[in-house]
Amino acid sequence: MKTLFSRFDRLRLVALLLWILPVIVLLPLGIVWLWQIKALSGWLLAMVVCSAAGYGLQYGLLQRDRKLLAEEATPPDPYWPAKADAAWAAVTQQAEALKPEDWPLNEGGRLWILGQQTLETVAQHYHPKVEHPLLELTVPHTLLIIERASRDLRTTVTAQIPFSHRLTMGDLVRVWRWKASAERLLNVYRAGRLVFNPADALLSEAWGHLRGQAYGAAWTETHHWLLREYVRKVGYYAIELYSGRLTLTEDQLAEDAVVIPPPVNEPLQILALGRANVGKSSLINALFGRLTAATDRLPETTTSLTPYRLEREGLAAALIFDTPGCDSGLLSEKALLKAALRADLILWVCAANRADRQLDREWLDTLRSAFAKRIDHRPPPILIALSHIDQLRPHREWQPPYDLLNPQRPKAMNIRAAVEAVAADLAIPTAAVIPVNLAEGRIYNVADTLWAAILNRQDEAHRVRFLRCLEQRQQQENWALLGQQLVNAGRWLKQAPGQFKQ
């Protein structure tokens, strides 16, 4: 008996006992006896109070379950390329629009159809011009996606749904078969009760309806969550496959498929860009302090794309590239654009004392346009380092620190105005414009504010780096697979003459 009760949620048992308590009391006393001693009204009041308490408890449990189920929703992968955003939005919309009555869990064929519909939803975003996009997906990969989604869903159901480890498909079928018969018997009981005791029957029907709604809502919520998660899991692995992260090779059959993890050894690539003589090299020296390079100090004039290895606490392994001014002509526009497309984070240096920012805006617009065309990647975060703030009016005043949130002095007011002007001119959020000073003996706001801004965007830069490395890894895997196929073909050709002679 103890083992039997341990299988049930104690709070749900309390809610059930509260609901049936008035009936248990009514049975020994009898309707007639209650009427004779004038206790019927008190019993009715107790039934109402207990039923209300049980309904309230059940409602609270339902809200708790909703919260737990909502927390278990499958999220999108932050390392997906930008092209996957629209596909995931379509999958989410499809999952939310599901109606549990249309997809009974005891019909496996219906769930297979639901999985196919989800695959087609994703395939339409990757093959928009194909009449039947699902046919572009190979049969092994289709089965692989369904298998991976079902496996993940099984793990989640076992961990989150009470008694799911004891619920069999036979239980679902038997419940479905007996549902109609049980409803008919219950209707006969209700009709007889209504004849013998109309008042009690009507009141019991009202509260029974509320209780049925509570339990029915709990099951409907669970059923709906299972369907939503199934669609989200299938959509998730379909996008993983189209994004190049889900691979299937002969030496991975034990795991069926491997999701490629983010690279850990590939350094971040940070690119310093801007016009000539705005302080790019000085910014790199001031920001990172220690550079693993041939010299401790960068040259005053950069004539080529020069990488330096960065070592600073809090930042992952990184390379920073110093560049000549985009208006200097020392490096072609094509070469600078190519470097920007390989960057994981861009530091654009702009002088606060120069009002001619049209060239900066044109370059940034060119970069944004190039990033937008690469839907299989994500654009790198861009930070604006606003240099030469010591040369803003009043020129002779230099008494940092400056409070830019509540500026009181003229210098602070002009620095804030410059930040807002640059943000508007370059179409950059104000929070991404960091005022700095790089003059010798006056270095300001670099090691704290700018450094914090870089660290805040480090996760976003890691996602950009992952997609950059993923393309290279896919090419390596394709060549490795082709090499293995050629080796196998060579072995077969070598053995073929002997087989033909036999």
β-pairing, 291-292 vs 433-435, is unpaired
Domain range list for the chain: 1-71, 74-260, 268-463
Phi/psi at 434 (nearest 5 deg)?
A: -110, 115
Residue with tokens 């002007």: 421
Nearest-angstrom CA–CA distance, 414 and 220: 61
Report the pLDDT value the prediction gives residue 45, as an integer from 0 to 100.
83
What pLDDT, on the 0 to 100 scale, is given for residue 290?
52
pLDDT value at residue 68: 64
Q: Which tokens hold the place of 97? A: 């629009």
Q: Tell me: cis bond preceding 429? Omega within 30 of 0 counts.
A: no
Could you tell me which residues come within 8 angstroms of residue 265 by beta carbon, excluding any fewer than 6 positions away? 317
Question: Left, alpha or beta for 429 (phi > 0: left; psi -120 to 50: alpha)?
Answer: beta
Whether the bond between 435 and the residue before it is cis, its omega within 30 degrees of 0, is no
Give the pLDDT of residue 298.
45
- Contact criterion met (CB below 8 Å) for 323 and 273: yes
Contact indicator for 50, 18 with CB cutoff of 8 Å: yes
Token pair listed for 306: 């020069």
Tell how strand 306-310 and strand 291-292 pair up: antiparallel
Give first-to-last CA distance, the chain, whole Å.
72
Burial level of 312, CB count in 10 A (0-12/13-18/19+)?
middle
CA distances for 451 relative to 31, 283, 325, angstroms: 80, 11, 23
Residue 205 has a pLDDT of 44
Per-residue pLDDT in tens (0 to 9) along the chain, 502 residues: 444 445 556 777 777 777 777 766 656 656 667 677 777 777 778 877 887 887 777 777 767 766 766 667 888 988 888 889 999 999 999 999 998 888 876 666 787 788 888 988 998 888 888 777 777 776 777 777 877 787 777 777 666 555 555 555 455 555 555 555 555 554 554 454 444 444 444 444 444 444 444 445 556 777 788 888 889 988 998 898 888 777 655 444 334 445 556 666 788 999 999 999 899 988 988 877 654 433 334 444 566 788 888 777 777 788 899 999 998 888 888 999 999 999 999 999 999 999 899 999 999 999 999 999 988 889 999 999 999 999 999 988 999 999 999 999 999 999 999 999 999 999 999 999 999 999 888 999 998 999 999 999 999 999 999 888 877 666 665 555 556 656 666 666 666 555 545 5
pLDDT at 338: 92
Q: Give this prediction's pTM.
A: 0.66
Q: According to the model, what pLDDT value does residue 253 have?
A: 38
C-alpha span between 411 and 442 (Å, rounded): 15
With CA atoms as reference, report the closest residue to 315 among 340, 293, 289, 341.
Answer: 289
pLDDT confidence of residue 410: 93
427: left (phi over 0), alpha (psi -120 to 50) or beta: left
Tokens 């943000």 label which residue?
A: 423
Q: Tokens 């408890």 — which residue?
A: 57
* Mean per-residue pLDDT of the chain: 76
Provide the CATH topology of domain 268-463.
Rossmann fold (3.40.50)
Where helices occur in 243-332 by DSSP H, the ranges are: 280-288
pLDDT at 329: 84
Q: Tokens standing for 19?
A: 């609901």
Q: The tokens of 174 are what?
A: 């038997």
> What pLDDT score does 305 carry?
85
Query: What is the Cα–Cα distance from 414 to 412, expressed in whole angstroms?
Result: 5
Return the SS3 of 436.
Answer: coil
Query: Helix, strand, coil: what percent of the chain each, to 5?
Result: 60, 10, 30
Structure token pair of residue 172: 């679902």
Q: Answer for the pair 265, 465: CB distance below 8 angstroms, yes or no.
A: no
Burial of 16 (0-12, 13-18, 19+ CB in 10 A): middle
CA distance 410 to 361: 28
The stretches of 97-242 forming alpha helices (DSSP H) are 108-126, 139-160, 169-196, 198-242
pLDDT tens digits, one per residue of 260-303: 566 667 889 999 999 998 999 889 888 776 544 333 344 445 66
